[in-house]
Chain A
Amino acid sequence: MRDRVGIVTALGVLAVLCAIAPLVGEFWSGVLARCVSWMFLAISFSLAYSYANIPSVAQATVFGAGAYAAVWATSLVGGNMILIMTAGVAAGALIALVFGALLLKMSHSGAAIGTIIFAVTFSMLGNAAVAYTGGTDGLPMPAQAFHLLGMPFAVGPNIGMLLLGSAVLAALLVAFWLFSGTRTWRVVRAVQQNAMRAQVLGYNAAGYRLAVFAVSGCVAGLGGALYALISRHVAIEVVSLSMSLKSILWAAVGGVTSIYGGPIGVLAVQLASELLLRWTVRVDLIIGLMLIAVALWMPRGVMGLRRSRSSQQSQ
């Protein structure tokens, strides 16, 4: 079941970002570029939560794995951005497969706690493995001549990376949209709603959930690689529990049951914090209140708004 309104909204948001980037200047282009990398993280949470039935509080760990993999890949193979992004995807998939295989052995609430334990453990490991992660200093992206499809590319918080990130994300969303009309996706939704029911119809529910979780890992890993290319420095905070919580906030604001809500959620929360920072040091408090309001009056996030208006079922 394809959600036309969702995909159009998400692509529209990305198109607007790219269109306004030259007008808003260097600073905001950089802010938006980083936001786009986080949209992958928000989407990966929605995928894991709503379609793999894994309430993952460890998505930032997967995102961070992609980011570190991007830095390692750069030191190993140089500035080929396709390879760097591939490394991020592979790292994300790998971590997600390992996590997923363990999480599927747990109950729903057990899995939520399990992901918290993963997030905290990996944060500690990252802190201790100074040789690989730079520990608390973080790892700088090696200075390289970066290139994309043979063309030189300036990485960093700039408009080029904003366009690249948006293009990759748009392609991903369109691919997802196409896929959401297939029989396979119908099975995913069936498994998500009632795994036992799907099993007695002959479907390997655990296999589907693991596959979806691995895909969510690929998405997070890709976002992490883009983040590393934009920030050019990966700190251990990227894999922290609080980063994962942020991803949940973004997904919640956008509407956690729709992967098209991620972009809106990231923009709403991050732009609000960025603007509030100019006026007050109590940003987190205000964002926190905002989120309580969302939870109370907009439980399905921005993407849920239209659903209550039209009766259309659209995930």
Chain B
Amino acid sequence: MKRISRRNVLLGSAAAATASLVPTAVTRVLAQGTSGDPIVIGHQCELTGWDSATGFWRDKAATGLVDWLNANGGIAGRPVRLVTVDTKSDVDTGVNQLRHLLIQEKVDFVIGAEISSIALASNTIANENRTLYMTMSSSEATTGKGAAVPYQFRMTTNSAATAAGAAQKYVESIGKRWATFFADIKWGQSERDWWQKGVTAAGGEIGRAIALPVDAPDLLPFIAQIDRSADGIFIPVLNALQAIQLLRSSGYDQQVVLAGLSFSLFDYRELGAVGDGVFGIETAPVALKDSASSEMAEIYKALGIDDDGIHTASGKAAGTSMIMGIAQSLGFVKANVEASGWKVKDDTAALIRHAETVETYAKGPLFPLGDVIVRPQDHQAFMDIYLLKIAGGAVGKYAVAPKESTIYPAEVDLTKG
């Protein structure tokens, strides 16, 4: 989702992320109960650079869950070796690093970058290399026309799906009249469009959507244009903290909804007092009690996260959507390797053909919050979306939008040809 620097929000967490960086190539093979050649999974990750706040969680999740896999029978009984490379949050570096994984490390599978430009530049290359690319980008364009490729699957959600699902729920519970205040860049525009569709489909209406130019020196004149009669305000903007503060100080007391996956981008506690009552849209809650899932508890344990969703070593609130995306990507690989009888990389084409016949991934260790469905046409997964609300300094579950409500029309059909 986020594609340009949000240094103001990220400063604190970025510094912490840098301090706890792992070596670029992580090789941990715990051969407990596994045998044979390791299956090599490459991770193209934003370890440094402006997106390192989310990269921190993907890296933690990938490392921790690969360790967990190796301790629990690996994949098809074989150990898993993880090779992590740093994209530096930069497209040229990210692409080079992917080519390094593919050509030099000869990895079997790749978990891809989160930054959409890197993911889009990379999936063609992985596709040519006939390597399965589990994209972590949440730009819906990644699985859209001109970008979707057969060797790419997305086991995380995207802007279109979160807006579609969440809009319906929020229209039901908050009200019919909405205002949108969006960053005038690709991400903000697509969030605006999908939110518009979702709200309209749910029988609500959106007054004027207010565009915030990226170079706006002052948010106030734009905020002043927001419709005061709206029931709720959807704000896919980069400087969410500042926007909320100004909304409140300008007398807007409406419900405020942040764009999808915002709580993986920054620690919700950074919002402080103005954060109270603010809504977010994620693929998982933060506190364990809200998920009521023994599988999620197991994952938290493996990653060193306490029951309140605080990562013990770093003291940060867990970026749960990132963790879910990695878990489900690994779950997808494991399930399809095992079910398709995949042995070597040449078997990947057969694995994909098989995967296109699998409609549902049942709740389990790597699908901790419930069934996930994968649409064969564009290789996009759909999962329950959690609407979270900050209250009393903690973020809790407000509602769940069932996965069915997040489905939007596919733009391509990869199963043909």
Do A's and B's CB atoms come within 8 Å in the complex? yes
Q: Are B103's CB and A26's CB within 8 A?
A: yes
Question: How many A residues touch the partner, as a band?
Answer: 35 or more
Q: Are A130's CB and B186's CB within 8 A?
A: yes
Q: B124 to chain A: which residues have CB within 8 Å?
A: 140, 232-233
Q: Are A136's CB and B3's CB within 8 A?
A: yes
Q: Are A140's CB and B120's CB within 8 A?
A: yes
Q: B117 to chain A: which residues have CB within 8 Å?
A: 136-138, 233, 235-237
Q: A235 to chain B: which residues have CB within 8 Å?
A: 91, 117-118, 121
Does A198 interact with chain B (Cβ within 8 Å)? no
Encode B163-200 as 1/0 by CB contact (under 8 A) with A.
00000000000000000000011110100000000000
Among B85, B104, B189, point to the contact of A130 (Cβ < 8 A).
B189
Please measure, in the bound complex, the distance between the C-alpha atom of A128 and the C-alpha atom of B99, giving whole angstroms: 30
Among A134, A231, A232, A237, point to the contact of B186 (Cβ < 8 A).
A134
Q: Are B86's CB and A277's CB within 8 A?
A: yes
Q: B90 to chain A: which residues have CB within 8 Å?
A: 237
Question: How many B residues touch the partner, as a band?
Answer: 35 or more
Q: How far is the CB of A243 from chain B (nearest CB, A)?
A: 9
Q: B215 to chain A: which residues have CB within 8 Å?
A: 121, 124
Encode A131-150 as 1/0 by CB contact (under 8 A) with B.
00011111010100000000
Please measure, in the bound complex, the distance between the C-alpha atom of A27 and the C-alpha atom of B125, giving whole angstroms: 12
Does B48 interact with chain A (Cβ within 8 Å)? yes
In the complex, identify which listed stretch (A84-92, A99-107, A165-173, A278-286) lies at the interface while the others stay far away: A278-286
Q: Are A27's CB and B186's CB within 8 A?
A: no
Please measure, in the bound complex, the distance between the C-alpha atom of A283 and the C-alpha atom of B48, giving whole angstroms: 10
Please measure, in the bound complex, the distance between the C-alpha atom of A142 and the C-alpha atom of B146, giving whole angstroms: 8
Q: B100 to chain A: which residues have CB within 8 Å?
A: 27
Does A22 interact with chain B (Cβ within 8 Å)? no
Please measure, in the bound complex, the distance between the C-alpha atom of A149 and the C-alpha atom of B47, giving whole angstroms: 43
Encode B232-261 as 1/0 by CB contact (under 8 A) with A.
000000000000000000000000000000
Among B25, B48, B99, B186, point to the contact of A136 (Cβ < 8 A).
B186
Q: How far is the CB of A141 from chain B (nearest CB, A)?
A: 9
Those of A232-254 within 8 Å (CB) of chain B: 232-233, 235-238
Q: Are A27's CB and B103's CB within 8 A?
A: yes
Please measure, in the bound complex, the distance between the C-alpha atom of A136 and the C-alpha atom of B115, giving whole angstroms: 9
Q: A142 to chain B: which residues have CB within 8 Å?
A: 146
Does A300 interact with chain B (Cβ within 8 Å)? no
Among B25, B47, B103, B185, point to the contact of A127 (Cβ < 8 A).
B185
Q: Are B185's CB and A130's CB within 8 A?
A: yes
Please measure, in the bound complex, the distance between the C-alpha atom of A274 and the C-alpha atom of B124, giving whole angstroms: 22
Q: B103 to chain A: which residues have CB within 8 Å?
A: 25-27
Does B214 interact with chain A (Cβ within 8 Å)? yes
Q: A157 to chain B: which residues have CB within 8 Å?
A: 95, 99, 125
Q: How far is the CB of B112 from chain A (nearest CB, A)?
A: 14
Encode B126-159 as 1/0 by CB contact (under 8 A) with A.
0010000000000101000011000000000000
For A120, the closest partner residue in chain B by CB is: B215
For B49, the closest partner residue in chain A by CB is: A284
Q: Are A232's CB and B121's CB within 8 A?
A: yes
Please measure, in the bound complex, the distance between the C-alpha atom of A73 and the C-alpha atom of B86, giving whole angstroms: 33
Do A277 and B186 form a contact, CB below 8 Å, given A25-B103, A137-B141, A233-B121? no
Do A274 and B96 form a contact, CB below 8 Å, given A137-B139, A233-B117, A237-B91? yes
Q: B85 to chain A: which residues have CB within 8 Å?
A: 277
Does A31 interact with chain B (Cβ within 8 Å)? yes
Does B24 interact with chain A (Cβ within 8 Å)? yes
Q: Are A231's CB and B88's CB within 8 A?
A: no
Does A34 interact with chain B (Cβ within 8 Å)? yes
Do A283 and B186 form a contact, CB below 8 Å, given A137-B116, A157-B99? no
Beyond the given A136-B187, A280-B24, please list 18 additional residue pairs across the A-B interface where CB-CB is below 8 A.
A27-B104, A30-B96, A124-B214, A127-B214, A130-B186, A135-B185, A135-B186, A137-B120, A137-B186, A138-B91, A138-B117, A157-B99, A237-B90, A274-B96, A277-B24, A277-B93, A277-B97, A281-B47
The chain A residues found within 8 Å of chain B, CB to CB, are 25-27, 30-31, 34, 121, 124, 127-128, 130, 134-138, 140, 142, 156-157, 231-233, 235-238, 273-274, 277-281, 283-284
Identify 13 residue pairs between A and B in the complex whose beta-carbon atoms are under 8 Å apart, listed by A's number: A30-B99, A128-B185, A135-B189, A136-B4, A137-B141, A138-B121, A156-B125, A156-B128, A157-B125, A237-B92, A273-B93, A279-B24, A281-B86
Give the top 3 A-B pairs by smallest Cβ distance, nearest first: A135-B186, A136-B3, A233-B121
